[in-house]
Amino acid sequence: MSDLDLALETFKQEAKELLDEMENALLALEDTPDDNETINSLFRAMHTIKGSSGLFGFSDIVAFTHEAETILDQVRNGERSINDQLISVLLDCKDHTEKLLAHCIESPEQDLPEELSSIGKELVFQLTGEIQEESLPAVSDVIAAAGMETVGESSDLSDKWIISLAFKSDALRMGVDPLSFLRYLKTLGDIETVLVLTDEIPAGDEFDPESCYLHLKVAYKSNADKQTIEDVFEFASDDCDINILPPHSKIEDYLSILDELESDVDRLGDILINIGVLTKNDVAKAVQKQNIEGLDSKPIGEILVEQHVVQPELVDKALKKQQQVKQKVAKEASYIRVDSSKLGQLINLVGELVISGAAMDLMVERHGLTDVEEVAETLNTLVSNIRDIALDLRMVPIGETFTRFKRVVRDVGKELGKDIELKITGGETELDKTVVEKINDPLTHLIRNSLDHGVETPAQREQAGKTERGCIQLNAYHQSGHIVIQIIDNGAGLDTEKILAKAIANGLIPEDHNLSQQEIFNLIFEAGLSTKPQATDLSGRGVGMDVVRRNIEGLRGNVNIDSVAGQGTTITIQLPLTLAIIDGFMVEASNERYIIPLTMVEECVEMNSDEWKVDEVQHYVNLRGVALPYLRLGEYFNAGKKGKERKEKGRESLVVVRSGQNKAGFVVDELHGEHQTVIKPLGKVFENLAGLTGATVLGDGNVALILDVQGLIQKAVKSGRH
């Protein structure tokens, strides 16, 4: 990969992060429209994308983002208020910028498609409205308005740009028209004062009528940024010394931007360019002066002040920011970007190392190599530490995934005519990146269901005595080696009577059912069950919910629903922290070995029918006064081997397991203890086999099956009922 390709890939990642930040900031402004810090972050995001796009020659992006940047600058300066309509347009601008980036990066040589071009023009129109072209004022009007003499010396210049134009003697010979610049400036703002300096005009015979002796000081009021004003004089830069001093009234704005500036540049000139107080041309002239003066040169900050292109207080503040940036860069130097596929390869190799370590332990035990035991234990400790560190590398906070749903809640809520807010808690909770990627779609479907069917319209909520604004909460926390994700809404809740009626009509349950309330709620995960008379294109509680449950269970997780009529619904998802390597508990039944995730094992007791009052018909055991359903693993996975073999065997053990609020017991022949388990997929042939989620390779080369604890607990409960 070339240096340009690497730079382009970095730009692509940074632009995506900036657009995500922009979306989050816009959504936040709906609740706090006067938050200046958020408004400034919006402006910086669009400004940075515009500047970076210019470096790669993406002119279409530069042109479009410039319009959005201008509007954001107006908002930042208090010249335009932020409202729902503007936020909606800016969100569309964010989406359009994302499409422009994709086109320019993937097809840099192709012209912008007509569809994208039309959308861009429409968005610019929505941002700016109809633009009426004004005719340029005549030269005489400009001169008359300015007076072409010293005027307004005592007027307030705090909100004016001070532009110094010192034309070189050959300017007229090179075709430069000084008055044309004044005319063009009038299209961008108002010329308040023009001061003509005459000190350098020679007298008598030394005066050359073909030479230019103009030196103008212009007090100029405009909302344009410094680069835009400097671009007016782009074609005269070789024939005129140009200095542009920002308004004093903007010093506080610039100081505020410096306080909030997040940048990795540590050069004074670059910092001042980033906040818009300087242009690259200003810095280039100061550096040129430094080079001419050599070792005796003043610091660049002093030169910039002497050249009247920046105020001293801004230089002082920028120097402090320079020190902060240097400290930040030094701190972040220890971080590097790593391709996620390389992390996957590392974890796979660690998994093979775990298997090899288990094989070595087996050989040590089998051959009685006592002198190797200490080395083997040390190696196992090191492997365990490497495993934990490797898995930690792939752990990411779930908050970023949660934040993406703010846009979903906003857009769908407006489409449905509902006022709904999204609250996020536990966003710092970490889990494996691969789990985060695979849980996104199920979460999207569940949230859209809550929006469509859970939360009522403002009129319905008011009639029910609730606040007009509904709420959906996303919550995450760790529990016993798992992550728990909750989607909580304060809507109408589930109607159990409708669910039962539809389930009976669909033949899912008999009329004389004996389901618990929890089991009734979970019926909505059955295929085709929806209590809504008319399906929508957004969702349909029951339409696709079976796919949601299947996807979650495919991640070795489980999902449950709890609801209170009229108050709301809580959907709880429990997922493993990682899909790669787990701590397991190995058992044996009917000469087959099985792995139970260690976090789900509560206790192991001896299976004694006399002591525990075992009911072999109902498949329940009275464990310390609690009726516990159980499942014999040997019989479940080997249906032909029944009670005859069981009588010939000796003592059995009961492994008590828990998944969420549900508990059951697995009856096994032997307990082999804890085992580091490298999870391997079962393959297409066995992937739908009930009760199993994967397999692992043991130290002796044999395969042990990893149990689906949640599924087996449900089997145990149903078996007990029958």
The tens digit of pLDDT for each residue in 325-383 reads 666 666 656 667 777 788 888 888 888 888 888 888 888 888 888 888 888 888 888 88
Could you give phi then psi for residue 576, rounded to 5 degrees? -70, 155
Within 10 A of 99 (CB to CB), how many other CB atoms are there? 14
Higher pLDDT, 599 or 685: 599
Lowest-confidence region among 338-342, 394-398, 543-547, 577-581? 543-547
Question: What percent of the chain stands above pLDDT 70?
Answer: 82
Collapse the DSSP code of 20 into the 3-class scheme (helix H, G, I; strand E, B; otherwise coil) and give the result.
Answer: helix
pLDDT at 141: 43
pLDDT at 369: 83
Taking alpha carbons only, the member of 213, 215, 274 closest to residue 242 is 215
Question: Strand 470-479 and strand 420-425: pairing?
Answer: parallel
227 Cβ partners below 8 Å, 6+ apart? 276, 279
Rounded mean pLDDT, 652-666 = 86
Query: Quick one: how many helices (H) and strands (E) in the chain?
Result: 25, 22
Question: Strand 189-196 and strand 703-707: pairing?
Answer: unpaired
- Per-residue pLDDT of 340-355, as tens digits, reads 788 888 888 888 888 8
Estimate to the nearest angstrom the gap between the alpha carbon of 142 and the chain centroid: 52
pLDDT at 234: 76
Taking alpha carbons only, the member of 448, 439, 440 closest to residue 482 is 439
Rounded mean pLDDT, 386-391 = 85
Question: Strand 662-668 and strand 626-632: pairing?
Answer: parallel
Within 10 A of 201 (CB to CB), how many other CB atoms are there? 13
On the question of pLDDT at 655 being above 90, the answer is yes
Within 10 A of 6 (CB to CB), how many other CB atoms are there? 10
Rounded to the nearest 10 degrees, the angle between the axes of helix 36-55 and helix 251-260 is: 80
pLDDT at 490: 92
Cα(246)–Cα(254) distance, rounded to whole angstroms? 10
pLDDT at 78: 81
Joined tokens for residue 228: 């835009």
On the question of pLDDT at 684 being above 50, the answer is yes
Within 10 A of 564 (CB to CB), how many other CB atoms are there? 10
Rounded mean pLDDT, 643-655 = 66
Joined tokens for residue 439: 């849980």
CATH number assigned to the domain covering 3-128: 1.20.120.160
On the question of pLDDT at 559 being above 80, the answer is yes
pLDDT band at 298 (very low <50, low <70, confident <90, very high): confident
Could you give phi then psi for residue 78, rounded to 5 degrees? 75, 15
The answer to whether 398 and 436 have CB atoms below 8 angstroms apart is: yes
On the question of pLDDT at 264 being above 90, the answer is no
AA letter at 413: G
On the question of pLDDT at 221 being above 70, the answer is yes
pLDDT at 263: 59
pLDDT at 140: 38
Lowest-confidence region among 152-156, 186-190, 263-267, 319-323? 152-156
Within 10 A of 337 (CB to CB), how many other CB atoms are there? 7
pLDDT at 721: 55
pLDDT at 145: 42
Cα four-point dihedral sign 195, 201, 203, 209? negative
On the question of pLDDT at 204 being above 80, the answer is no
Higher pLDDT, 149 or 497: 497
* Alpha-carbon distance values, 230 to 163, 223, 276, 445, 594 (Å): 9, 13, 12, 51, 74
Cα(692)–Cα(560) distance, rounded to whole angstroms? 20
Which CATH superfamily groups domain 581-721?
SH3 Domains (2.30.30.40)
Q: Is 591 exposed, middle or buried (0-12, 13-18, 19+ CB in 10 A)?
A: exposed
On the question of pLDDT at 146 being above 50, the answer is no
Joined tokens for residue 204: 């008598």
Cα(590)–Cα(668) distance, rounded to whole angstroms? 8
Q: Average pLDDT over the chain, rounded to whole? A: 79
Is the CATH number 3.30.565.10 carried by domain 396-576? yes
Lowest-confidence region among 5-14, 107-116, 193-202, 235-244? 193-202
The rounded radius of gyration (Å) of the Cα atoms in the chain is 36
On the question of pLDDT at 394 being above 60, the answer is yes
Rounded mean pLDDT, 122-139 = 58
- Enumerate the β-bridge partners of residue 162: 219, 245
Estimate to the nearest angstrom the gap between the alpha carbon of 575 and the chain centroid: 20
Cα four-point dihedral sign 575, 578, 581, 583? negative
Domain residue ranges in the chain: 3-128, 139-332, 340-394, 396-576, 581-721
Cα(477)–Cα(486) distance, rounded to whole angstroms? 9
Within 10 A of 534 (CB to CB), how many other CB atoms are there? 6
- Enumerate the β-bridge partners of residue 569: 489, 563
| CATH architecture of the domain with range 340-394 | Orthogonal Bundle (1.10)
On the question of pLDDT at 131 being above 50, the answer is no
pLDDT band at 152 (very low <50, low <70, confident <90, very high): very low
pLDDT at 130: 43
The answer to whether 720 and 616 have CB atoms below 8 angstroms apart is: no
pLDDT at 388: 84
Map 486-549 to HEC letters. Answer: EEEECCCCCCHHHHHHHHHHCCCCCCCCCCCHHHHHHHHHCCCCCCCCCCCCCCCCCCCHHHHH
pLDDT at 332: 59
Rounded mean pLDDT, 402-417 = 88
Rounded mean pLDDT, 579-583 = 81
Helix, strand, coil percentages, rounded to 5, for the chain: 50, 20, 30
pLDDT at 609: 60
- Enumerate the β-bridge partners of residue 671: 587
pLDDT at 3: 57
pTM > 0.75: no
Taking alpha carbons only, the member of 722, 543, 503 closest to residue 617 is 722
- Per-residue pLDDT of 449-508, as tens digits, reads 889 888 999 999 999 999 999 999 999 998 877 889 999 999 989 888 888 888 888 888
* Alpha-carbon distance values, 614 to 123, 175, 219, 619, 655 (Å): 72, 106, 96, 7, 14
